[in-house]
Amino acid sequence: MAIKLLLVCLGNICRSPTAHAVMRQKAGHSGLQIEIESAGTSASHRGAPPDSRSVREGVAAGYDFGSIVSRPVSDSDFAYYDLILAMDKDNLAELKRRCPAELQHKLQLFMQYHPSYPTYSEVPDPYYGGSKGFAVVLQLIEQGCDGLLEQLKLTEKV
C-alpha cells in the first residue's frame, strides 16, 4: 500500500510545490509507492501555479512542476495523509493548532530528514528574497527528499 505524504508551507507556491516536484520524481525513480501532494497553511494563493522563480530553479535542475496548483490545507488532510511535513516551525505550529490530538503524530518538520538537522531545522521562506534563496531552497529540499526516501525504505512503510 502506498504511503500518503503531504508537504506543507505557507503559500503552497514556493517551497512545498518544489518539494512536491522533487519528491515525486525521486520517488518514481526509487520504485517506492508514495502518493504525494502539497498544500499551504494560508489560502491566499489558492488556485495559483507555483512561483515562477521556484519553477525556473527546479526546471533547470530537471524537475517537472506540471499539474501542481496551490491549495490550502483542509481539515480532512489530517486523517487522509500518513505523514505531513512542514517546511518551517511556524507552519508546523499552525498544523499542530489545527490537527486533532489523536493525529498529531503525523506532523513533523521536513528538515528532520536532512543530514544537517537539527543544526538547520527549517527550509527558509524565499518569497521576499532574491534568486539565491530559491537555489538554497531547492538544495535543502533535494537533500531532505533523499533522506526521507532512505528513511521510508528502512522503515518499509511503503
Residue 14 catalytic? no
Q: Which of 51, 85, 57, 53 is nearest to 69 (CA)?
A: 51
Nearest distance in Å: CB 133, ligand 4NP: 10
Nearest distance in Å: CB 4, ligand 4NP: 21
Nearest distance in Å: CB 46, ligand 4NP: 12
Could you list the residues that contact ligand 4NP (CB under 6 A)? 9-15, 44, 125, 127
* Among 9, 14, 99, 145, the one annotated catalytic: 9
Is the Cβ of residue 86 or residue 99 nearer to ligand 4NP in the bound state? 86
* Residues with catalytic roles: 9, 15, 125
